[in-house]
Copies of this chain bind each other. A is one copy, B any other.
């Protein structure tokens, strides 16, 4: 299986390429250094212009450490397809990935409601306008953080397209190509306490149609 074939796998350097990758995913992996050791945690996130919004519990020790200014790297990966070549070596995957490096900051409590709305709307577009505003109690239990996107603080890599063409006669003749992968939403499952006559919200309907 092939790790890198330069002609198909490329670093992208235009900022819109970064935004496109970040806006296409909902979960990423946050990494930092704790006592000299790598520390990672998956997190939901939202992009807000030139920053990534993350949030966790105010009770989480490691998150507090990160929030206090420790260096962080946030990695997002979308697996778009399985690349099937004539050889194991040239088999690979089509993907989009982004890494944003920087130092997290805690979002001021006065902006926490905005951050929470943004996080919700990234996951369920339009949802924030369908429910009541977050309460002070809810906001105080949320640790909202921001990772700034700086010009030199990110990398994007994308692989698209078919496998590399076979360069040996012995490899040719067999099938080669791509099995595309995509994420789809199934039928919404109401919670047990929801009456059967309650319609699903518009935001949920769009979510199911949009994937």
Q: A interface vs B, CB < 8 Å?
A: 1, 3-4, 26-27, 29, 31-33, 36-42, 44, 55-57, 60, 71-75, 77, 79, 82, 84, 86-89, 91-93, 95, 97, 99, 101, 116-117, 119-120, 123-124, 127-128, 130-132, 134-135, 138, 141-143, 162-163, 165-166, 170-194, 198-201, 203-204, 207-208, 211
Contacts and interface: CB of A to CB of B under 8 A. Distances in A.
Given A3-B60, A38-B73, A183-B184, 16 more contacts: A1-B120, A1-B123, A4-B56, A26-B82, A39-B73, A40-B73, A41-B99, A82-B123, A88-B127, A91-B127, A165-B191, A166-B193, A175-B190, A177-B189, A179-B204, A179-B208
A87 B138 contact: yes
Nearest to A5: B57
Contact of A33 (B38, B77, B132, B176): B38
A75 B191 CA distance: 30
A93 to B, nearest CB: 6
16 contacts: A29-B29, A29-B75, A38-B73, A40-B74, A42-B97, A82-B124, A89-B135, A89-B138, A89-B141, A132-B171, A174-B198, A175-B199, A175-B200, A177-B194, A179-B188, A179-B204
Number of copies of chain A assembled together: 2
Contacts of A163: 191
A191 B177 contact: yes
A190 to B, nearest CB: 4
Contacts of A89: 116, 134-135, 138, 141-142
A171 to B, nearest CB: 8
- Which of A55, A87, A142, A203 has the most B CB atoms < 10 Å from its CB? A87
Nearest to A138: B89
A193 B181 contact: no
